[in-house]
Structure 1
Amino acid sequence: MGAEVGMATQPSPFPENEEALLALARAVRETGYSFTTVTPASHARVNARPRNAEARSLRDVFGWSRPVRPDRLPQGLARLMEEAGAAVSDGGLLRPTIRLSSLDGELFTHSAYPPSAADAVFFGPDTTRFVAAVLAHLDGLERSPRRIADIGCGSGAAGIALAKRSPGAETVLVDINPAALRAARVNARLAGVDGIETRRSDLLQDVEGSFDLIVSNPPFMIDASERAYRHGGGPLGAGLSLSVVEAATERLAPGGSLVLFTGAAIVEGEDGFRDAAGATCARAGLDWSYREYDPDAYGEELDDPAYGEAERIALVVLTATRS
């Protein structure tokens, strides 16, 4: 089966009924469900196997986004999917419009595969890497942050993981995408985490005050469709990442820090994003460090003419601190 076989041709919007979606996610969690979400490229390859044309388990439905016969679902689950707007009818089958992924002992709702809608809520291996990077930074802090911002929060995974470990902190999950904010609210409630606020804002323009910790995993690709979760804009997709650095330099409290997990296109051995981000940090008087998390990711993107000068795309972590 090809990636689009058995699926509607138009992407489905992320559900708007948060209460019903929360009830569905809790019901799935009670079954013992877990799923590690892979890259879209791996997902397409696995789903293309002929035996995977239809779902046979909840992992097939809510992990692999395969259409399912309603009578194969546990009792009551088809009704919950329909009430939540988490399924569409597809030739006698139910096709899920959400996924549920496991991370940090929690389940996170996000958009079904393929995440082709302009406002898709993405969750994938980079989410896992990002959360690992921010938790490693948190472990090294001398004092627990009292105010945290997750810029471009998507599913809210990083902010929720930080809030779980920062009792009493105020954590603001920021995104310009209303669908992402719906997912983040559901996921925070699903995790039972307090102190979470969601805010629709372009970077921190509509958020007040300073922060002890700002984290972000912004889009960093060149995406012709300009999907919210993927398109970074600017030089080789670095535009939004540089904007996050600039915003953070203005809003870090004394002793506050930024952890930015992003991608950088390397041209002739030179990392233009590192140079530009480092210069911004230096002008603001911040101490900063930079490392390549993975020197060669997303190699398939190099086929795009927009990356005609790039030799690799690295995943990187920038950390900046106001002393």
Structure 2
Amino acid sequence: MTIADAPSHPTASQGPDACHEDREDAFLALARAVRDTGYRFTTVTPATHARVNARPENALARSLRDVLGWSRPFRDGLIPAELTDLMERAGVLHRSEGPDGSLLKAQIRLSSLDDTLFVHAAYPPLAADSVFFGPDTMRFAEAVLAHLEERARAGHPAPRRAADIGCGSGAAGILVARRLPEAEVVLVDINPAALRAARINARLAGVDNVRPVHSDMLSNVEGSFDLIVSNPPFMVDSGGRAYRHGGGPLGAGLSLRVVEAATERLAPGGSLVLFTGSAIVEGHDGFREEASAICARAGLEVSYREFDPDEYGEELDDPGYAAAERIALVVLTATRPTGPR
């Protein structure tokens, strides 16, 4: 069982102890207990994860980091019984029988960012509704927090209402909520598993000014925003996994939809901070051209930079990238002027 399978709320049929047995509460208790051990883990790319786990000495877990960070199988008794029991209550402990006896494996991971922990999918994240968290999450959060600091230095008022479109684990939106405790932060995703993880992560971070909403873009959310942030899927993924597949030309479809949605919902002085990837073809950045045109038509001021000129080089072997020479990680910031539209 995974994050996706945990019920959002107890049902009447679950009886009087339903709240105690609610898997979201068990997830939270597990994460807090792990945090209390001093656990920290920096999630790496899938390619690095595969290489490190392939080393013979890493076939089995030897520590809690191996269990909940590296997603390695482990023998009963390796970690405190309290943690094993909480995993079972949360429905995220898989047992298997092998030639060397019974092995256990956690079906989630816990990763560190900004002095808190975030629940997300175990490695390898093969399910279509896997909840992504990785180096891009950290880069995205860095870009968003840098924007908030720049805005404060410029003397602009702090955002009162923010949205994280395609929130996934909710990491960026939750960090915004921690920095802006007076703001309302809406976490938006179409993936129920992502919203469940975001809700757990918000509780773990101790923020109560976030609101997870099931929505395609901002269709189920009303009003305007002073800040919209997004790190949408931007890869060409033949498996169509929600956390990876961007659709459209060279994976740019969802990113362009985010830009379109933001042009309609930014308040005067409000900004979109979009962290995404762009496939470069013969030196041409098609995403930048299309996104800039959308913003220009809406009267938004745009800044655009390459955060990293060459990432995910292994993906260029995919036929969907046959024309691409590199995949750049980019940050687009679009701001609505404070004057009349």
Alignment TM class, shorter chain as reference: over 0.9
CA contact (8 A) 1:148 1:212 kept: yes
The amino acid of 2:225's aligned partner reads F
Distance 1:116 1:233 in 2: 18
Match of 1:246 among 257, 260, 269: 260
The amino acid of 2:298's aligned partner reads A
Residue 8 of structure 1 corresponds to: none
Secondary structure of residue in 1 paired with 2:162 = strand
Distance 1:24 1:70 in 2: 17
Secondary structure of residue in 2 paired with 1:94 = strand
Secondary structure of residue in 1 paired with 2:314 = helix
Q: TM-score, normalised by structure 1?
A: 0.96
Q: Is the aligned partner of 1:184 residue 2:185?
A: no
Q: Is the aligned partner of 1:122 residue 2:132?
A: yes
Residue 315 of structure 1 corresponds to: 329
CA contact (8 A) 1:148 1:170 kept: yes
Cα displacement (A) at 1:75: 3.0
Match of 1:96 among 106, 116, 120: 106
Cα displacement (A) at 1:13: 5.5
CA contact (8 A) 1:13 1:117 kept: no
Cα displacement (A) at 1:174: 0.3
Residue 131 of structure 1 corresponds to: 141
Cα displacement (A) at 1:14: 3.6
Spell out, residue by residue over 1:232-290, the C-alpha distance to the aligned partner (whole angstroms, 9 max, x if none): 00000000000000000000011100000000000010000000000000000000110
Distance 2:220 2:277 in 1: 26
CA contact (8 A) 2:2 2:92 kept: no
Match of 1:303 among 297, 301, 317: 317
Residue 278 of structure 1 corresponds to: 292
The amino acid of 1:271's aligned partner reads D
CA contact (8 A) 1:12 1:117 kept: no
Distance 1:82 1:50 in 2: 28
Spell out, residue by residue over 1:98-142, the C-alpha distance to the aligned partner (whole angstroms, 9 max, x if none): 000000110000000000000000100000000000000011112
The amino acid of 1:58's aligned partner reads L
Q: TM-score, normalised by structure 2?
A: 0.91
Secondary structure of residue in 1 paired with 2:123 = coil
Distance 1:143 1:158 in 2: 20
Match of 1:150 among 139, 142, 164: 164
CA contact (8 A) 2:117 2:204 kept: yes
Q: Is the aligned partner of 1:140 residue 2:143?
A: no
Distance 2:104 2:91 in 1: 11
Residue 66 of structure 1 corresponds to: 72
Runs of 5+ unmatched residues, structure 1 = 1-10
The amino acid of 1:90's aligned partner reads S
CA contact (8 A) 1:259 1:318 kept: yes
Distance 2:147 2:181 in 1: 17
Spell out, residue by residue over 1:180-239, the C-alpha distance to the aligned partner (whole angstroms, 9 max, x if none): 000000000000012110000000011111000000000000100100000000000000
Based on CA coordinates, which of the two structures has the bigger radius of gyration?
Answer: 2
Residue 221 of structure 2 corresponds to: 207
CA RMSD across the alignment: 0.9
Cα displacement (A) at 1:73: 1.1
Secondary structure of residue in 1 paired with 2:182 = coil
CA contact (8 A) 1:14 1:97 kept: no
CA contact (8 A) 1:214 1:259 kept: yes
Runs of 5+ unmatched residues, structure 2 = 7-22
Secondary structure of residue in 1 paired with 2:77 = helix
CA contact (8 A) 2:2 2:91 kept: no
Residue 33 of structure 1 corresponds to: 39
